[in-house]
Copies of this chain bind each other. A is one copy, B any other.
């Protein structure tokens, strides 16, 4: 009987507690979409962060020393006393906490985005916004336009809705007709272009205004949506701000009601990721549908967290931005200087104006994943191989370095180690 699945017996298990049922054939019960949910390299790598002798440039993770922990403690204590007490722990509306949405209306206005509270949905981080937008827009076989490379988490979020990917090349030579026909041939339609325009994960690069306009041009010609992932937008260390695509879309079409750009913001990189608070800003028909979707999917984001974020943001968002920009700017500068010192000939890298990442292109004969294995063994330094960020499986000779978690001294030591690995590779 052991390990035999007996569907008719109602007998008690053997007294020794031995397993007498076999495991189910779960994959038979899973939806087709489950086939596209795999473990990510980033996830496995996050586990390495806890090993004390590894210098990690892997995770795109804020430095916890920069979290306004005291402000959060005060905000939470405040929300749990006085008038807010009951509401802070209670169910709340799916749209999100109204004072936070009102604060965001003002914040968006400062970015050139004129909107109302009804244009804003609070999400559990911008990752949830990407999941919901995939869910809202993608039927199986539809096409999503993404960069080569692009944010791995966006691909993971969209994968659940079984799209195909095509390459978003706003400055390239593809015609709208070509995109449209390729999508049709593959059994779907082009639904959106996804882009992280500021200090993108993984490259750290920023789209200039001219390129943003070309993305909007292409989206208009294809009559598709644009998903603007603005997770890193507030982390600018040099140069002038470039208007968000949503601001350019509003300038072009007169009001947010006539735009096609869906802006996804996050407090994860500015205040704290552990509270899971982000937002979507878009035309009302999109928000209305997303609110229904959120109600069905998790009712609402945690009430107390939204109240805490609102209090902390209202009291000192700009001051907090100033603090983190100063720290991260110095780390970026340190990493760029260390790369100059330690990288051998034939290695190229981006010089980002903000964000958390530098993108390194190695000589063609090197493989990022093999280099990581070697690097962890010989020099104890971690990074993310770039291949996972490419929807087409290319990019074997690229790696992503994050400068957000390590101080300047550690960055110099870690890049020196990495230089030895690359030089010996």
Contact = CB atoms under 8 A, between A and B. Distances in A.
Interface of A: 5, 7, 9-10, 12-14, 17-26, 29-34, 37-40, 43, 46, 59, 61-62, 64-65, 67, 69, 72-73, 76-77, 80-81, 85-94, 124-125, 127-128, 131, 135-139, 142, 153, 156-157, 159-161, 191-192, 213, 220-221, 223-225, 251-255, 257-260, 268, 272-276, 283, 285-286, 289, 292-293, 295-305
A13 B251 contact: yes
A418 to B, nearest CB: 23
Given A77-B76, A293-B37, A298-B127, A90 B252 contact: no
Given A21-B252, A29-B224, 19 more contacts: A5-B253, A7-B220, A7-B221, A12-B251, A13-B254, A19-B257, A21-B259, A22-B258, A26-B289, A29-B225, A30-B136, A38-B292, A61-B91, A91-B268, A127-B296, A131-B296, A156-B296, A276-B299, A302-B305
Contacts of A26: 283, 285-286, 289
Q: How many copies does the complex hold?
A: 2
Contacts of A37: 289, 292-293, 296
Given A23-B258, A252-B21, A295-B43, A89 B274 contact: yes
A221 B137 CA distance: 37
B89 A272 contact: yes
27 contacts: A5-B253, A13-B254, A18-B254, A19-B258, A23-B258, A24-B260, A26-B283, A31-B135, A31-B161, A33-B139, A37-B289, A46-B93, A59-B91, A64-B86, A69-B86, A72-B89, A89-B275, A90-B272, A92-B274, A124-B298, A124-B301, A128-B297, A153-B296, A274-B303, A276-B301, A276-B302, A304-B305
B88 A297 contact: no
Contacts of A10: 213, 252
Contacts of A293: 37, 160
A92 B13 CA distance: 38
A258 B9 CA distance: 14
B88 A274 contact: yes
Given A29-B137, A285-B23, A305-B302, A91 B295 contact: no
Nearest to A282: B26
A43 B46 CA distance: 39
A297 B31 contact: no
9 cross-chain pairs, A with B, having the tightest CB-CB distances, nearest first:
A21-B253, A21-B258, A64-B86, A274-B303, A89-B272, A156-B296, A128-B298, A89-B274, A131-B297
A89 B312 CA distance: 13
A44 to B, nearest CB: 11
Contacts of A292: 37-39
Contact of A139 (B32, B252, B272): B32
A276 B128 CA distance: 15
A270 B46 CA distance: 33
A248 to B, nearest CB: 10
A30 B289 contact: yes
Contacts of A31: 135-139, 142, 161, 191
A135 B160 CA distance: 8
A94 B153 CA distance: 13
Nearest to A76: B76
A138 B25 CA distance: 16
Given A32-B139, A159-B296, A252-B21, A73 B77 contact: yes
Contacts of A254: 13-14, 17-21
A296 B38 CA distance: 10
A157 B20 CA distance: 34
Residue of A22, A26, A69 with most chain B CB atoms under a 10 A cut-off: A26
| Most central of A29, A64, A135 by chain B CB within 10 Å | A29
A243 to B, nearest CB: 13
A305 B260 CA distance: 35
Contacts of A39: 292
A13 B254 CA distance: 5
